[in-house]
A = this chain, B = another copy of it.
Amino acid sequence: MAQVAVVLSGCGVYDGAEIHEAVLTLLYLDKAGAQVQCFAPDKPQAHVVNHLTGQPAPEESRNVLVESARIARGEIKPLSELNMDFFDAVIFPGGFGAAKNLCTFASDGGDCQIEPDAQRVIEEAVEEGKVIGAICIAPALVARALKGKERKPIVTIGTDAAAAGALRAMGSENLPKSVNEIAVDEKNKIVTTPAYMLGPSISHVSLGIEKLVAQVLSMI
């Protein structure tokens, strides 16, 4: 049975993990019979966004692990406890949380900083030949973690020129892909799909994520 870690970054597209992408990842993994464990960093969110108005709520503070637990129905562990020795693959759903809480790509682009445990997990995965899945904006996180590595990562972040430029600045190659497609980096074992970078709706996003999960499992 495949052992897959899913790394969440909060609960909500604007300040955490994109909920649809996270749930669809869990759905297709479970349908395929994979054993799943969710993880998230135990630290404050970069900020809280009111998802009704789209405006920041500066008076509020929430913890990434505690909010991610909403998606995981309480079955989640701190990212510091994720040891890739015990997993065959790791998948990062998107949402601004991946670019605000796991790294600072949302504000700093190609110059972003990365959460040390996310850096460690992605490096461990590549070094140990484990498979990495990254959805939506999360390929930027993977690109940041592998910045300067010999084998240039090949990912898709959809068709957004600015995002693609920032990925190139970090040393990754961006393959333009549609929402129902995946990019496969055979050498680094990285699978990516644009999801809500393109949308427009959950049924479209589900096609790419279903393919991503199948591809990740097939490369184990």
Contact residues of A with B, CB < 8 Å? Answer: 11-14, 16, 19-20, 23-24, 26-27, 30-31, 50-52, 54, 63, 65-67, 69-74, 76, 201-203, 206
CB of A202 within 8 A of CB of B23, answer yes
Between A and B, 20 residue pairs with Cβ closer than 8 Å are A11-B70, A12-B70, A13-B73, A13-B74, A19-B19, A19-B23, A19-B73, A20-B26, A20-B73, A23-B24, A24-B27, A27-B202, A27-B206, A30-B201, A31-B206, A50-B69, A51-B67, A51-B69, A52-B66, A52-B76
Alpha-carbon distance between A70 and B71 when the two chains are bound, in angstroms? 11
How far does the Cβ of A11 sit from chain B's closest Cβ, in whole Å?
A: 6
- Counting every copy of the chain, the complex holds 2
A27 / chain B contacts, CB cutoff of 8 Å: 20, 24, 202-203, 206
Contact, CB under 8 Å: B202 / A13: no
Apart from A14-B74, A52-B63, A52-B74, what are 9 other A-B pairs with CB-CB below 8 Å? A19-B23, A19-B70, A20-B73, A23-B23, A23-B24, A23-B202, A26-B202, A31-B206, A51-B73
The contact of A203 among B13, B31, B69, by CB within 8 Å, is B31
A30 and B23 alpha carbons, distance in the complex (Å): 15
Instruction: Tell me the bound Cα distance from A124 to B149 in angstroms.
Output: 62
The reply to whether B13 and A11 contact each other, CB–CB distance below 8 Å, is no
* Bound Cα distance A76, B54 (Å): 12
